[in-house]
Amino acid sequence: MVAIVPKLQINSLRLHTDFTELAQIGHTANGGISRVALSNEDLEARAWFANQIEEAGFFVRDDEVGNLSGVLPSKAKHAQTLLIGSHLDTVPNGGQYDGAIGVLAGLECMRAISDAGIDLPFHLEVISFTDEEGWWQSFFGSMGLTGTLKSHHINDAQQDNAAFRAALYRAGILVSEVDRAIRPMDDLCGYLELHIEQSARLEQARKNIGVITGVVGRSAYVYTFYGEGTSAATTHVNDRCDALQGAALFITKMHALIAEEYPDGIVNCGNIEVQPGTFNVIPAEARLRVECRHQDRTTLLEIESRLVEMAHTIADTYRLSVKVEEMYKREVAIMDEHLMTLIEGICDEQHLSHQRMVSYAGHDAQILSPFTPTAMIFIPSKDGISHNPREYTEWHDVENGANVLLSTILRLASEKV
Amino acid sequence: MVAIVPKLQINSLRLHTDFTELAQIGHTANGGISRVALSNEDLEARAWFANQIEEAGFFVRDDEVGNLSGVLPSKAKHAQTLLIGSHLDTVPNGGQYDGAIGVLAGLECMRAISDAGIDLPFHLEVISFTDEEGWWQSFFGSMGLTGTLKSHHINDAQQDNAAFRAALYRAGILVSEVDRAIRPMDDLCGYLELHIEQSARLEQARKNIGVITGVVGRSAYVYTFYGEGTSAATTHVNDRCDALQGAALFITKMHALIAEEYPDGIVNCGNIEVQPGTFNVIPAEARLRVECRHQDRTTLLEIESRLVEMAHTIADTYRLSVKVEEMYKREVAIMDEHLMTLIEGICDEQHLSHQRMVSYAGHDAQILSPFTPTAMIFIPSKDGISHNPREYTEWHDVENGANVLLSTILRLASEKV
């Protein structure tokens, strides 16, 4: 085993070549990327990535949930595996950086280490997880690897999963075999993920690196207000039971509550459906889905219960009834304190400014974090724009992030030696 | 010409038999009626009505826009025509009374006059107008008859009219010939329409008869708020441009404005469409259509302009833009003062309580009123419910209305003799 080279750097040009090649796959007319999970474009990106892994001289590995990896094996006996990576899939018409940067920087770190002839005390594995963005099922790959993918994620009785199953089959993923993707968690010694921030906090604070403390917990509720669909022309104002008026006031008050009392919380109402939905009938039903995020589990629960209470109060005011259904719940994820400190030290050594921050967006790291020491390194996003063709990160920020990732791998190696 | 019989009454049993027979056509499982214009059920109702006209010994008349009439001709030379009637079509799953009562009471009045051997100084024509409810085009029949049906009503470039044209053709209505339905307005001496109130003002005031002064003017505007569809997870509260928040506040404030400052006005927002409409993206666009009704033309214009101003203020508050489009405009319709006074006198003679009132719903009478002296007689609706299977009017109220209609015809006849 050779000595660790502390000043090792990634090859920025090589990384940039990969970046521009990958950005050709699924590119849209307006400069965006459509590479939704299991699509032709996603499968093409996987094939390209497998080629890059082989060309760099690493082992290609895939599993029963479609995760695709390159492995630099350690010569050490009983070596564990350090996972590094992210995902190659995108939202429809998304950007070039989200996910891609983490996978490509991981591959570049592996090449840099391999080129330097360094033998690590752990197997190093760069991994692209399947369907992080949730075109079919959010975190399909990382849940499959950690054994948290449940039958209802594929066989949801509330919707038709025929297209999902067909897409899985086409990608060579057999539903009957997904359990074989589960890895013994003792085999892992950690997971590191480099990602763009997707908001503007680093940019606004003029920091180079974000050290992620955790990923916010998240819940989704559907609120359905019920009124009476009488004639819009002839029903007197005092006799109206207008479901949309209730829903509208709820939206306004919900945002006001969060702004005033929970500045660290995030809520969104992305859609509202009105029945019967015609211009001359008073809305009989208004259905809206509310997403709620907070870094603190207790506070998230408090927000949820206050919103439910608020919905009932508003329903009473407008002579409506309201039904509240919890659709989704994801617990707060906590990153590894030792890794955070280690990354902060590396930033200081490399003269990169940094700050600790919570991630409001979901990442595969939150799925891994309960099972293995996990860390995330964020780099700035221009104007905080993401999931959008205008998503942009300065290249020197990508370099910085990749070098911090590389140094973190090497520091972990030196700790284990 | 025989003397007018002032105490002539309709045959309630005969009218009720017609009512129950007609209510079988297009009846739904929950007691409602689905007889949308030009449907099989509508065509069946027309055939049934033509049979009833013939059986009663009157002439059947139809025209190039599908209006169907029964005519009791006058022996007088150069006689004009008094139209009485309403419509046989319904909204989907509507009630048994809306429209049907006006047509059937009209036929019954004609039978009562004919049975009494009365020769009127005008032709009496009971008419069922095509598509009053606007399944395809509101007031298609009455606009066709008055010459106010324009090419764009059939050939709307903003939508696919293929199904409408097919339905017209199937009903024997040729688009190329609709202009031939126009009647010289000098041939008419008036139009009388008996209708259920569709709101609860008569019931609440415990009045038997409503004497309609006019039909409210009506406008429809589409408001589209534009924001920015960034990530719901990562966009900071202060950076959000949430189109739905703007739309929601607009809905709340619009209703508050009307309730506080325009108690005689009616507004409705029956639907709202959000783009992209997914749970994890901030609404980039929220589109809503607002219906606005008022009996006074100037006040309606004032409401419209205040709502436009309000939309722009709210858009500014939320960093949005807003587009406002006028979709539809129908002027205030004024009923004939002489006819109103005459009807009030008849109510007094028949010991029926009455009040003048405006109609918030549209009726064929509003299309006729600019061209010929027009009056509407309203009877109470139970709980004001209409366009609904629960629509209900006490039978003695139907009798009252039909008898007032009959006396009005006879009074007009005596005035002309």
Q: What is the 3-state secondary structure (H, E, C) of A110-160?
A: HHHHHHCCCCCCCEEEEEECCCCCCCCCCCHHHHHHHCCCCHHHHCCCCCC
Q: B386 at the A interface (CB within 8 A)?
A: yes
What residue has token string 């018409």?
A93
* Residues ≥6 apart with Cβ < 8 Å to B30: B93, B389
Give the model's confidence band at A229: pLDDT under 50 very low, under 70 low, under 90 confident, else very high: confident
Closest residue to B236, CB basis, from A199, A248, A282: A199
Q: Inter-chain contact A280–B270, Cβ cutoff 8 Å?
A: yes
CA terminus-to-terminus distance, chain B: 9
- pLDDT above 60: residue A1: no
A292 CA: distance to closest CA in chain B (Å) = 9
Q: A81 at the B interface (CB within 8 A)?
A: no
Q: B387 at the A interface (CB within 8 A)?
A: yes
Closest residue to B280, CB basis, from A263, A270, A276: A270
Find, in chain A, the residue whose alpha carbon is nearest to that of B267. A232
Closest residue to A270, CB basis, from B263, B283, B387: B283
Q: Any bridge partners for residue B218, and if so which?
A: B293, B330
pLDDT at A239: 84
pLDDT at B1: 43
Mean pLDDT, to the nearest integer, of A100-128? 98
- Fold observed for domain A217-330: Alpha-Beta Plaits (3.30.70)
Longest dimension (CA), chain B: 86
What DSSP element (H or E) covers A12?
Answer: helix A12-22
A397 CA: distance to closest CA in chain B (Å) = 19
Find, in chain A, the residue whose alpha carbon is nearest to that of B271. A277
By C-alpha distance, which of A345, A228, A216 is closest to A284?
A: A228
What residue has token string 């366009």?
B387
CATH architecture of B218-330: 2-Layer Sandwich (3.30)
* A165-169, A303-307, A377-381, B141-145, range with the lowest pLDDT: A165-169
Query: How do the pLDDT tens digits run along chain B, 417 residues long?
Result: 444 555 899 999 999 999 999 999 999 998 999 999 999 999 999 999 999 999 999 999 999 999 999 999 999 999 999 999 999 999 988 999 999 999 999 999 999 999 999 999 999 999 999 999 999 999 999 999 999 998 878 876 556 788 899 999 999 999 999 999 999 999 999 999 999 999 999 999 999 999 999 999 999 999 999 999 888 888 888 889 999 999 999 999 999 999 999 999 999 999 999 998 888 889 999 999 999 999 999 999 999 999 999 999 999 999 999 999 998 888 899 999 999 999 999 999 999 999 999 999 999 999 999 999 999 999 999 999 888 899 999 999 999 999 999 999 999 999 987
Sorted by where each begins, the domain ranges of chain A are: 12-216+332-416, 217-330
Closest residue to A259, CB basis, from B237, B282, B283: B237
pLDDT at B417: 73
Instruction: Provide the residue type at A149 as one letter.
Output: L
Q: Inter-chain contact A248–B247, Cβ cutoff 8 Å?
A: yes
Asked whether the beta carbons of A233 and B293 are under 8 A apart, the reply is yes
Q: How far apart are CA B217 and CA B331, in angstroms?
A: 5
Q: B220 at the A interface (CB within 8 A)?
A: yes
Asked whether the beta carbons of B225 and B325 are under 8 A apart, the reply is no
Find, in chain B, the residue whose alpha carbon is nearest to that of A293. B233
Q: How far apart are CA B114 and CA B116, in angstroms?
A: 5
Q: B236 at the A interface (CB within 8 A)?
A: yes
Closest residue to B259, CB basis, from A237, A266, A268: A237
pLDDT digits (tens, 9 = 90+) for A308-345: 999 999 999 999 999 999 988 888 999 999 999 999 99
Q: B94 at the A interface (CB within 8 A)?
A: no
Closest residue to A248, CB basis, from B197, B251, B291: B251
Using DSSP bridges, classify how beta strands B285-294 and B266-275 pair: parallel, antiparallel or unpaired: antiparallel
Q: What is the 8-class DSSP label of residue B119?
A: P
Q: B411 at the A interface (CB within 8 A)?
A: no
- pLDDT above 80: residue A198: yes
- pLDDT above 60: residue A3: no
Contacts of A216 in chain B (CB under 8 A): 233
Find, in chain B, the residue whose alpha carbon is nearest to that of A221. B279
Q: Inter-chain contact B283–A269, Cβ cutoff 8 Å?
A: yes
Q: B393 at the A interface (CB within 8 A)?
A: no
CA terminus-to-terminus distance, chain A: 9
> Token digits for B276?
């992209």
Q: For B19-72, where are the E strands, in sequence order?
A: 59-62, 68-72
C-alpha pair distances (Å), A82 with each of A98, A342, B81: 22, 15, 94
- pLDDT above 80: residue A19: yes
Give the model's confidence band at A260: pLDDT under 50 very low, under 70 low, under 90 confident, else very high: very high
Asked whether the beta carbons of A19 and A88 are under 8 A apart, the reply is no
| DSSP structure string for A245-308 | HHHHHHHHHHHHHHHHH-TT-EEEEEEEEEES--TTB--SEEEEEEEEEESSHHHHHHHHHHHH
C-alpha torsion B233→B238→B243→B248, nearest 10: 100
Q: How far apart are CA B137 and CA B87, in angstroms?
A: 14
- Fold observed for domain B12-216+332-416: Aminopeptidase (3.40.630)
Find, in chain B, the residue whose alpha carbon is nearest to that of A391. B230
Mean pLDDT, to the nearest integer, of A143-166? 83
A128 CA: distance to closest CA in chain B (Å) = 22
Q: A189 at the B interface (CB within 8 A)?
A: no
Closest residue to A278, CB basis, from B232, B271, B282: B271
Q: A247 at the B interface (CB within 8 A)?
A: yes
Find, in chain A, the residue whose alpha carbon is nearest to that of B245. A252
Q: Inter-chain contact B266–A237, Cβ cutoff 8 Å?
A: yes
Q: B31 at the A interface (CB within 8 A)?
A: no
> Token digits for A90?
């995108």
Q: Inter-chain contact A263–B237, Cβ cutoff 8 Å?
A: yes
Q: How far apart are CA A267 and CA B378, in angstroms?
A: 50
What residue has token string 């006028």?
B326
pLDDT at B6: 57
Instruction: Tell the burial category of B396 from Cβ atoms under 10 Å away from its Cβ (0-12, 13-18, 19+).
Output: exposed
Q: How far apart are CA B58 and CA A27, in angstroms?
A: 73
Find, in chain A, the residue whose alpha carbon is nearest to that of B391. A230
The count of CB pairs under 8 A between chains A and B is 163
Between A155 and B149, name the one with better pLDDT.
B149
Q: How many CA atoms lie within 13 A of B310 on its CB side?
A: 19
Q: B30 at the A interface (CB within 8 A)?
A: no
A376 CA: distance to closest CA in chain B (Å) = 16
Contacts of B269 in chain A (CB under 8 A): 244, 283
- pLDDT above 60: residue A153: yes
pLDDT at A327: 87
pLDDT at B157: 54
> Token digits for A242?
């207008």
Give the model's confidence band at A6: pLDDT under 50 very low, under 70 low, under 90 confident, else very high: low
Give the model's confidence band at A349: pLDDT under 50 very low, under 70 low, under 90 confident, else very high: very high
Mean pLDDT, to the nearest integer, of A142-164? 83
Q: What is the mean pLDDT of chain A?
A: 94
Contacts of B233 in chain A (CB under 8 A): 198, 216, 266, 291, 293, 360-362
B79 CA: distance to closest CA in chain A (Å) = 38
ipTM of this predicted structure:
0.77
Secondary structure (3-state) at A57: coil
Q: How far apart are CA B156 and CA B137, in angstroms?
A: 10
Q: What is the 8-class DSSP label of residue A389?
A: T
Q: Inter-chain contact A248–B245, Cβ cutoff 8 Å?
A: no
Query: Which of A93, A98, A244 has the most B C-beta neighbours within 10 Å, making it the best mutation to test the interface with B?
Result: A244
Give the model's confidence band at A210: pLDDT under 50 very low, under 70 low, under 90 confident, else very high: very high
Given its phi and psi angles, is residue B384 left (phi above 0), alpha (psi -120 to 50 degrees) or beta? left
Q: Inter-chain contact B198–A279, Cβ cutoff 8 Å?
A: no
Closest residue to B233, CB basis, from A236, A239, A360: A360
* 3-state helix, strand and coil shares in percent for chain B, rounded to the nearest 5: 40, 25, 40
What part of A 337-376 touches B (C-beta under 8 Å)? 360-362
Closest residue to A251, CB basis, from B248, B270, B277: B248
Neighbours of B152 (CB within 10 A): 9
Given its phi and psi angles, is residue B134 left (phi above 0), alpha (psi -120 to 50 degrees) or beta? left
